[in-house]
Structure 1
């Protein structure tokens, strides 16, 4: 599907992006490279969306569907520990999730699609998004209209997946990645002497009770046929050995696979905390700091991705999974709440896992990911 020189150029671009990682909403250099390349290929470009986002549009001038493809661009605040000659030049920043490869793959696809413009019908939007790593950049891109004017009919994206065979393309219909809700809980008790606990209200003891009972949300409120987990990721309280502190703070992270499992976990959180605090005479405040909904693929569009990938032979290994490959969150879920579509995966081979300081994107999977996008454009935008 691609000439060797095209793949080599995409690999060089990916490694250049890897050398110059930029954190969420700081992707100025990356965005400029993307915008310039899209213009070279003949796309109409809109930049500075949601701060640093870029959208390239290809209007064929012929009636047809409006299709969108998305890649994320941001890096992570991680110091790279690899020995690659193209290692990060930006201290304390690293492309540890493969967004450099996602961006390079979609630009490679943009080249392949532009070359076939005359045989396509409809309108294509290529969305290069900032702030996927904890910034809910997808939600901001939606707020700024990337799915409108014209209205997108279907949207597609992908993520590389370490631990799966190199180049394997796989999809999961329905729930495919976890939702992520993060809360900060402050428990307010009454400070006192460690030798006189009956004169105090111990927020650490109350917090420990809450930690224990939180597991009942997953074990007794959520259906065992659905996925979900509650994690207390941090607890901060007290300093002196002989003092009962007045406050304790907990950070609670909840993962869920669909709206019903989220309702069972998140929906009962405040009532559980309130009951325990009330029983011990403590008060509390609960702040919802971050939310990404569960990523749920439309089954019919997921089937379309499978059929299209097989018909165009984008990989030697194409399959459907019957289980969720991860409970990790992905803000592509915001797009799927607005527009049907599918988020697929491409195996990265036996590499370090995502968000590791030793991770690296596998350049050999670039033609597979890009090929899937080109195949979808050919199939969905072909003349009636």
Structure 2
């Protein structure tokens, strides 16, 4: 019977344990460049079996929040290289989450102050994070997007490919995670609430999933499927994501991923950061059927679960074979030594929510480790 602390393979990644640090946006990378604070922050958490970085923009157009990191410039890649070197020196493994926010952005963050892009010109009922002139942070309504032209989509697919290549070859990451969850660009294409297109990328489930599979094919063709993971959130309402029929949509996605040899599939269960039993549509989402669709299509990658897991729930999921890996988010913010604390049963530090987004060392690299 497997435990949280046993080693495991995820594609080409050999992991020391089954505890994953979930991606956590912290808004501490001015000019989209990870700095000294980020080096320390990730190095402190290198005992995780796998670190998935905070979401990282593949292009300037893909940025939706102030002071989030990028992968599209030499300074950004050099900053990330310092992070990956530090994590590797501490014995850890780290992948970067590739991000295009689509419509979850603000004109002031876009190249030339242009409109954010989306599958359709449907404004999200959501907010993004901006930095005021005095340096303080604020949440603001997202801007109205414009619909991508069909001839622009291949360029975005290639942006994902180039970002993945740079992440591995220049920034030193062990692999990448495609962010296809939480109401961002790929998820916006998947869901009928945000995708009103009538071309080859809209309408049917097959068409709405087309971008996701094109991105997967481009990245795996560049860096290999064994270093590629993907994150999905079948029912989350995050960032105004909605679809009345999530089960057939995501069962189709799972089956399509099953034949592509990915390292892992990362599943947000329920509402991101909220209720695990949240549902969209007229029936609860069947996560077991979702996983079965993946396995029956030949999927051998690790199954990574996320959202509201504590030690007891995580141990049960692994012991029962429902998950190969379990991701922890907020607990890793406040507990750089989370793996050791879970193993020994030491009480966890509580995170300071006031320091989640933006700021400096406070609430970022100053949480104490257990004696």
Higher normalized strand content (fraction of residues) = 1
Give TM-score, length-normalised by structure 1.
0.27
Which fold has the larger relative contact order, with Cα–Cα distance below 8 Å and residues 6 or more apart in sequence? 1
Give TM-score, length-normalised by structure 2.
0.27
